[in-house]
Structure formats: structure tokens, C-alpha cells
Amino acid sequence: MLELEKYRKNVFACERCGVCVYKYNSFSTHRVCPVLEHSVGFEPYNPRGRMAVARGILEGELKYTEALANVLTACSTCMGCVQQCGARDMETGEFKICVPEVTEAMRADVVNLGLAPPGYKAIASRIEKNRNPYAEPNEERWKWAEGLNLSFDKEKIIYYVGCTSCYRRKEIATDTVNILKKLGIPFGVVEDEWCCGSPLLRTGHRALAEKMARHNVEELKGAETVITSCAGCIKAFRQDYPKMGMELPFNAVHITEFLGGLMDEGKLKPKERIAKKVTYHDPCHIGRHMEFGIYDQPRALLKAIPGIEYKEMFMTRENSWCCGAGGGMKVSNPEMTVEIATDRLKHAKEADAEAIVSSCPFCKTNITDAVKATGSKLEVYDITELLAKSLGV
């Protein structure tokens, strides 16, 4: 049976009205789908068109092909479309026309039928072999932490670092550890940390993702709180693992929620002055993807840093413009992801910001790539970097 079959009701509920493409509110609009803006723009490159294609498959009018598989890669699963559509199931209250889930189901079908694009195959094979999507040796996962004296013991609070922070954005991992230590939080990490499975789920490798998830849940048993740096990891823990039948035996929180809570309790007080005009980019996975989007805590943390002049940019919070990197796009459509991130640089510049801050290592990577590609002078930070600096660590 096709994975898509599970979403028949959702697919057939789509009215194809197109509200998913343009925001409709208060007599003003803006475009919603970054992929539509940066692709060749035929209907299947927008959410409504993808739902139409899904329906064609379910009706037996269309078949999966390699050409279709390639087009299906062009969605960052940012959920901007779902936010604008808003159609909810009258009984459950859940979003009824969840385009990212339908897209991921189609990607899973494509993988199961042996039609996966090369980039998708590469992700799966790297993660299967190395437990991370970067083809880095798993035994080097903790190389960044040399000298930091991390505890690998079973602690009540575990910092789940995630592949991107371990291998590509080590500064985020280091700063997070230093912040937690500075605040006197007893915590540990799990030595045999594997990829959370998010990249696999986004690209249709469901069985392998489940293997990663089960391993991680087993390794994390005993923890009460698991902190993640990565927006994708927290979405995997909170939303994807339960959908795979795993009830979490711990509370999974994003670093901004954790630090925001400490600030509310008066235990975190940024002191060092950072004189900078900064804006904040909302990662989709901790925003729209969450039941209650994490929007306020990161902003509150930034505003608490002395000297920070906070600037809000165009399209934020639930209406945020995706950075473009999610949903496997970075591997399948690398050029498009950088073009989409370039939009964000423009938004930040229009807001008169000197720095764009996010709270996701993958967003930071992609926005940094856009800065390099365009020669922009904009500085790019993860929120933990500025907090670490302000806390003097």
C-alpha cells in the first residue's frame, strides 16, 4: 500500500483554492511559498499543485516517476501553506490539509519504489553508515568537546547535541555547553548519540528513521529533560517519534525554551553589552510545526542582552519566511535553498539589522551560505552565541 493512501482524506479535502500561496488577512498579502518563488513555478511547485498531484496518484491517474520524484524534492516542508490554509478537522482540531505530511508520504513512496533522487539516497546511506548525514565518522562526534569535560553519565538533564552542531556548527554546541555550565546546570550527553532521524523522515526514509528514533529513545532513557539545539531535532522528538508509536519517557525542550525558563526564574541574566542591531529568524520547526510555536522565548532572550537593539523584520512568527534549508532541500536543491535564504538577508537589511539571529544550526548554515554567496555584510549568529558572549563565557 502507498504511504500516501494514509492521507486520502486530507488530499481529497483540499479545495485547491490557492490560499496556501498568498496570505489573506486584513486587506494585505504577501507570498507564502518560498519554493514557488524560486522554482520554475508550474503548479506542482506550489502546495495546491502538489495536493492535486497527490490526488492524481490516489485516483490512479498518475504514477510516480523519477521526474515527479525530482519535483517532489522541492518543498522545504516549512508549513507556511498550512498556516495560511487553516482548514482544520472539525473533530480533532488538527490541520486538515497538511501539505508537508502529504509531501513526505509521497517521498516515502518514491523511496519505497526505488525512485529516490541521488541526494536522498546519499542521505540515507550516510546516516545508515555513520549515524549522521554529513558522512563524518561517528567516532568523531565528540571531537568538538575535547577539553570541555562533558559527562557521559546518565544525568537527569541531557543535552542532545544533534549532527549539525556536532560536525558543522560546533560553535553552537560549545557555547551551549558553556552556558549550561556557567548557569550551574548539571547535565550530560549520551555517548552513542545518533541522528534524530529528521532528515530521513523529511526525505521519505521512514524505516531507517524509526531505527534512529528507537535507538535514541533507548539511549536517553533515564533522563527527565532532553535539551536540543536544533529545531529539526525537537520536532523529531516531540512530533515525529510519537507518530512512530514511541511515547517519550522524557520531556524534550528546545534550548530557547530551557534558557527562557531560567531567565523567567531569574537564574539567567545576560550582563555583557553587545551593541548591535539584531533581528530574529523564526525556524519553521520550532514555530509553525509546534503545537504552540516557540516565538516569544527567543525574542525575550535576545532583548534581555544589554546593548541589543532588536529589530523585527518582515514575515515573522507564524508567517515567517522559511530559510529554505529544511525538508531535505539542502541536499536536493542546494541552489534554491541559498536563493531563498537570500530573501531573508533582504528582509533583515530592510529591518536595518546588522545581524540575523536564529535558533537552529541548520538555519544558521543556510543563511551563512547566502551571506557568502551574495557578499552580504550581515552577521549571522545562533542565539546561544550571543547569550554565551553576554554571559561572559
Partner 1 sequence: MTEVKHHVLYNELAAIAGSKYVSDDDFVLFAYSRDTGPFPGKIQGIVARPASTEEVVEIVKLANRTNTPVVPSGGRAGIYGVPPGSPGRGIVVDLTRLDKVLSIDEDNMCATAQAGIRLAEFDTKLGEKGWSIHTAVAPWYSDTVGGQLSALPGGGAGVETSAVGWNRHFVNGMKVVLPTGSILQTGTGGNVGKNVIWAPEFGGPDFTPMFIGDAGAFGIKVEATYRMFRAHPIRKGGGATFKSFEDLYRCYRSLCLIEPAPYAILSAQSPFSMKLMGCPEEWTFMWVAAGYSEEEIALKSKWVKENIERAGGKEADDPGVMEFVKMQCVGKSIAEMGEWATPGRYALMEVVCPLGQLQECFTTMASLTTRRLEERDMIARRHESCVACGCNTTIFSQYIYWDDTDERYREGILEINKEFFDVAASHGWMPDTNQRNTCKTVAKYWTPAFYNYMATIKKALDPNNIMNPGMWGDL
Which residues bind to partner 1, rule: CB under 8 A? 8-9, 12-19, 21-31, 40-44, 48-49, 52-53, 56, 61-62, 65, 67-68, 71, 83-88, 90, 96-97
Closest CB to partner 1 among 28 and 149?
Answer: 28
Closest CB to partner 1 among 99 and 255?
Answer: 99
Closest CB to partner 1 among 52 and 122?
Answer: 52
Q: How far is CA 107 from the centre of its chain?
A: 18
Closest CB to partner 1 among 61 and 291?
Answer: 61
Contact 316, 280 (CB under 8 A): yes
- Smallest separation (angstroms) from partner 1 to the CB of 26: 5
Closest CB to partner 1 among 31 and 277?
Answer: 31
- Smallest separation (angstroms) from partner 1 to the CB of 121: 19
Dihedral over Cα of 198, 199, 202, 207: its sign: negative
Distances (CA, A) of 70 to 118, 197, 246, 274, 330: 10, 21, 31, 45, 14
- Smallest separation (angstroms) from partner 1 to the CB of 331: 22
- Smallest separation (angstroms) from partner 1 to the CB of 337: 18
Contact 194, 236 (CB under 8 A): no
Closest CA to 322 of 369, 362, 376: 362
Beta strands in 256-390 (DSSP E): 276-280, 308-310, 355-358, 379-382
Q: What is the CA radius of gyration of the chain?
A: 20
- Smallest separation (angstroms) from partner 1 to the CB of 53: 5
Measured CA to CA, the distance from residue 344 to residue 322 in angstroms comes to: 8
Angle at 156 between CA 151 and CA 159, to 5 degrees: 55
Dihedral over Cα of 259, 263, 269, 273: its sign: positive
Indicate the SS3 state at residue 244: coil
Closest CB to partner 1 among 75 and 124?
Answer: 75
Closest CB to partner 1 among 53 and 124?
Answer: 53
- Smallest separation (angstroms) from partner 1 to the CB of 34: 16
- Smallest separation (angstroms) from partner 1 to the CB of 63: 8
Closest CB to partner 1 among 52 and 262?
Answer: 52
Contact 110, 332 (CB under 8 A): no
DSSP string, 264-299: HTT-----S---EEEEEPPPGGGTTTSSS---HHHH
Indicate the SS3 state at residue 79: coil
Single-letter code of the amino acid located at 368 = T
- Smallest separation (angstroms) from partner 1 to the CB of 319: 10
Indicate the SS3 state at residue 253: strand
Q: Cell 551563512 maps to which residue?
A: 368
Q: What is the rounded end-to-end Cα distance, in angstroms, of the chain?
A: 54
- Smallest separation (angstroms) from partner 1 to the CB of 310: 24
